[in-house]
Structure 1
Amino acid sequence: MLDAETTQVLEPVPPPSPPPAPKRSRARGYWLLAIGMLIVLLAGATLYAIAPLRTPLPTAAVTRTLPEATRIPGKAPVVPWPRTGQAALSVEGVGSFGTSGGNEPVPIASVTKVMTAYVILTEHPLDRGEHGPKLTVSAAQAAAYPAELARGESLVPVVAGAVFTERQALQAVLLPSANNMARILAAWDAGSVEAFVEKMNDTADALGMKDTRYTDPSGLDPGTVSTAVDQVILARKAMELPAFAEIVAQKKATLPVAGEVKNYNSLVGRDGVVGIKTGSTDEAGGCLVFAAVTRVGGRKITIVGAVLGQPGANTPVQLDRVFKATRPLVRTAAAALTVHPVVKVGDQVATVQGPLGTGTTIHAGKELSVVGWPGMRVRLDVDIPAVPDRLAAETEHGSITAVAGHGAPVTGTLRSGVRLEPPSDWDRIRQHR
């Protein structure tokens, strides 16, 4: 037993310190942190890399390389215009060779009868070979014949009660140029000559014959005036009527009372001439509106023209001079008209620039040829749809159209060049870097 003097005071003992963390656990934390950071970096890099793939590719750009127009190669023809009077020369479905002698309205004599026949046939149409309705010569019309003959008019004999078909009456007007039958037809159609003349002028206005004024249906009155340009406008329309074109191409016809009559237009059947109408008076001189047909590349092409105001002391001289002035025009036009290739197969029309250096070309897949003459302007129209991302080589894509002068359009196909493909994903990513 311990006494008080030997009793010891015990100090409190501190708790033991925790053992140090193992080194392996600390290293594991570092690795986890590193891995997390790497994942973040890889995710960012991936997002950066695929960003270009999420952006739509731009549309391919098409650049036209073909000019908008070209000209038929060669020297333009020299047109042998008459030295006096007016003239105009054009080709149906192609264009105009031009005019000469100005555009002042002048008397046109019996060329007037083209409008007379045109109005009659538009009011009373006939097919080829069809005779149509009948008209009877009145006593008053027959009684006027001696005075008309005394004035030296161009006529066909008529008697009261004579019956003409519409076709026969038109033959009388257009072949031997019968003034009296022009007046008879006018009254038959409109009730009076004056009412018919109003129809003639209304028709001229409707056709755009702005420098033409009719005062009678025969052309005997010098107050009936027009221009070569206006008469070509009318001639082109008249030749679209089958019966008109058929009649003016005839060299002769057989009529009631008169028997056989001849066409005053002695050019018919020569140099391809198929009509249309002569005219001659002291005031008008020798006049001729003409049409001729020539073959070009297997196609029938119609040449239409007018020559007015050829001098001469009388009708035979005036007509002879107008015929001599006309033949060179017809021959020049026919000789100048040929088929010309203006676009060849394989001719480049456009380039196509795709994204990241991809691209191809667009070229003509068909040769385009036009009818015309050297020096004529040819318009080239191109229609290329939007180019897709993928386009196989030699794929039909778009069209090209050539128009010579005022002619009908000639259209061909366009084709692609080398194959067009979009850039690969790798190329898009690499380009972005």
Structure 2
Amino acid sequence: MLDAATTQVIGPVPTRPPGRRRARGPWMLISGLLTLLLAGTALFAVAPLRRPLPAPTVTRTVPASTVIPGTAPVVPWPKIGQAALSVEGVGSLGTSGGSKPVPIASVTKVMTAYVILTEHPIGRGEHGPKLTVSSAQAAAYPKEQARGESLVPVVAGAVFTERQALQALLLPSANNMARILAAWDAGSIEAFVAKMNDTAAALGMTHTHYTDPSGYDPGTVSTAVDQVILARKAMKLPAFAEIVAQKTATLPVAGTVRNYNSLVGHDGVVGIKTGSTDEAGGCLVFAAVVKVDGRKITVVGAVLGQPGANTPVQLARVFRVTRPLVRTAAGAIGVHPVVRAGDEVALVRGPLGAVTTLDAARDVTVVGWPGMRVRLDVDVPEVPARLPAEAEHGRITAAAGGIVSAGVPLRSAVELEPPSTWDRIRQHR
């Protein structure tokens, strides 16, 4: 038991000074601010990454068209009459002598044959249906002969196949066979001539008018340009192209006949038709085949109104002025580069300044001649965000007239890379 002398008195426990408890508040505030700052920074950094990158843009850098380099060919046009020269599928080499309709003599028979073959088609080597010479048609022969017309002998009851009749029409240029074919097809010469004019209008031969199926009538008129239009269409008919390329043929009654077109077989000439009268002079519509880079190209032309005292002189003159035209066209046509391998075709811009170019993988070439205008077509699909260097992407083609070159691939010059995460964040600071 403790006595009074040893009793220990325990006083109240002192409380923590008020100042220390309040000191905790600023630290919590600073901590909260730091947390908010870090969170905001994170949101600021992440926000750009959430936005999708824009697709790379492509800007074409080659022109829409260009010209084949070099000196344009000088065409030796005849000094008299009309002429026109065209390259099938490529374009025109030009014309001379104006566009006034003039008599065309037996060149008319190209339309006669064209109408017959479109109404009664036959293939190469086929003879087709038969037609019989009437008594009236045979009886007209002596009068036709007395007028000095170009004819084949016929007799009443003679039977010609369609092919033989066309050979008589196109090789020895028989006026009487033009009339026989016209009546066989349409029932009368007048009805057939109406078909000829309807066909000319449909083909766009706006300066052509036919009055007979043979061209003996000087009222049948046309132009060199219109006859080139028709010749291009006629040469697409296999039987026509086959017949006009023949030098001879064997016919009923007449026996062996020869082609008046003595140019056939020379300088690539494969037809088409001569014509000559006092009113028309010497006329020739011609076609020649030129080989270019393993491809056959057809040159079609017409020469009208060459002077001369008679048919042999007129035809000799028209042949003489035609040869240089054929040779000039053959020498002018070639394969020409219009865009070189490695040339820039398009510029590609990626996001945040990334750049590459699309260049031609090899030469872009066309068939044509110097000075000719060429269209350039570029096709580039959507460019991905990453495009390796030397990657093929897109194509370029060239078109000269109707001939389109094979497409040439485009290749990227350097790698196109999407921007890094850091670049995207830094760009938006």
Q: TM-score range by the shorter chain?
A: over 0.9
1:282-310 residue CA offsets vs partner (Å, 9 max, x unmatched): 11111000001111111111110000011
What is the identity, as a one-letter code, of the residue corresponding to 1:242? P
SS at match of 1:184: helix
What's the TM-score, normalizing by structure 2? 0.94
Query: Equivalences for 1:375-386 in 2 at 5 Å?
Result: 375-386=371-382
What is the CA-CA distance between 1:121 and the residue it aligns to?
0.7
2:273–2:285 CA contact under 8 A, matched in 1: yes
2:395–2:407 CA contact under 8 A, matched in 1: yes
Instruction: Give the corresponding residue for 1:308.
Output: 304
What's the TM-score, normalizing by structure 1? 0.94
1:339–1:371 CA contact under 8 A, matched in 2: yes
Instruction: Give the corresponding residue for 2:156.
Output: 160
Instruction: Give the corresponding residue for 1:321.
Output: 317
1:267–1:323 CA contact under 8 A, matched in 2: yes
1:84–1:309 CA contact under 8 A, matched in 2: yes
SS at match of 1:131: coil
1:372-421 residue CA offsets vs partner (Å, 9 max, x unmatched): 11111111111112222122223222221101234334322222222212
Unaligned runs of 5+ in 2: 1-11
2:365–2:405 CA contact under 8 A, matched in 1: no
Mapped partners of 1:344, 1:75: distance in 2:
19
- The match for 1:177 among 169, 173, 179 is 173
- The match for 2:268 among 257, 269, 272 is 272
What is the CA-CA distance between 1:318 and the residue it aligns to?
0.7
1:403–1:410 CA contact under 8 A, matched in 2: no
Mapped partners of 1:221, 1:29: distance in 2:
121
Instruction: Give the corresponding residue for 1:5.
Output: none
Mapped partners of 2:233, 2:46: distance in 1:
69
SS at match of 2:23: helix
- The match for 2:361 among 356, 359, 365 is 365
Instruction: Give the corresponding residue for 2:127.
Output: 131
2:172–2:260 CA contact under 8 A, matched in 1: yes
* 1:239 is aligned to 2:235: yes
- The match for 2:281 among 279, 282, 285 is 285
Deviates more, 1:359-368 or 1:103-112: 359-368
* 1:296 is aligned to 2:276: no
Instruction: Give the corresponding residue for 1:82.
Output: 78
What is the identity, as a one-letter code, of the residue corresponding to 2:84? A
Instruction: Give the corresponding residue for 2:394.
Output: 398
Instruction: Give the corresponding residue for 2:107.
Output: 111
Instruction: Give the corresponding residue for 2:94.
Output: 98
SS at match of 1:410: coil
What is the CA-CA distance between 1:106 and the residue it aligns to?
0.7
What is the CA-CA distance between 1:20 and the residue it aligns to?
5.3
Mapped partners of 1:114, 1:18: distance in 2:
132
What is the identity, as a one-letter code, of the residue corresponding to 1:78? V
Mapped partners of 2:236, 2:362: distance in 1:
32
1:272–1:294 CA contact under 8 A, matched in 2: yes
Q: What is the RMSD computed on CA atoms of the aligned residues?
A: 1.6
1:376–1:405 CA contact under 8 A, matched in 2: no
Mapped partners of 2:263, 2:58: distance in 1:
55
Instruction: Give the corresponding residue for 2:347.
Output: 351
* 1:188 is aligned to 2:187: no
Deviates more, 1:374-383 or 1:359-368: 359-368
Instruction: Give the corresponding residue for 1:207.
Output: 203
Mapped partners of 1:293, 1:32: distance in 2:
97
1:94–1:408 CA contact under 8 A, matched in 2: no
Mapped partners of 1:83, 1:241: distance in 2:
33
Mapped partners of 1:273, 1:255: distance in 2:
24
What is the CA-CA distance between 1:338 and the residue it aligns to?
1.1
1:182-226 residue CA offsets vs partner (Å, 9 max, x unmatched): 000011011111111111111111111111111110001111111
Deviates more, 1:302-311 or 1:354-363: 354-363
Instruction: Give the corresponding residue for 2:47.
Output: 51
SS at match of 1:229: helix
Mapped partners of 2:34, 2:403: distance in 1:
74
SS at match of 1:30: helix
* 1:417 is aligned to 2:416: no
What is the identity, as a one-letter code, of the residue corresponding to 1:275? G
Structure number with greater Rg is 1
SS at match of 2:404: coil
Mapped partners of 2:61, 2:76: distance in 1:
39
SS at match of 2:193: helix
Unaligned runs of 5+ in 1: 1-15
What is the CA-CA distance between 1:23 and the residue it aligns to?
4.5
Instruction: Give the corresponding residue for 1:10.
Output: none
What is the CA-CA distance between 1:22 and the residue it aligns to?
5.0
* 1:64 is aligned to 2:60: yes
1:399–1:414 CA contact under 8 A, matched in 2: yes
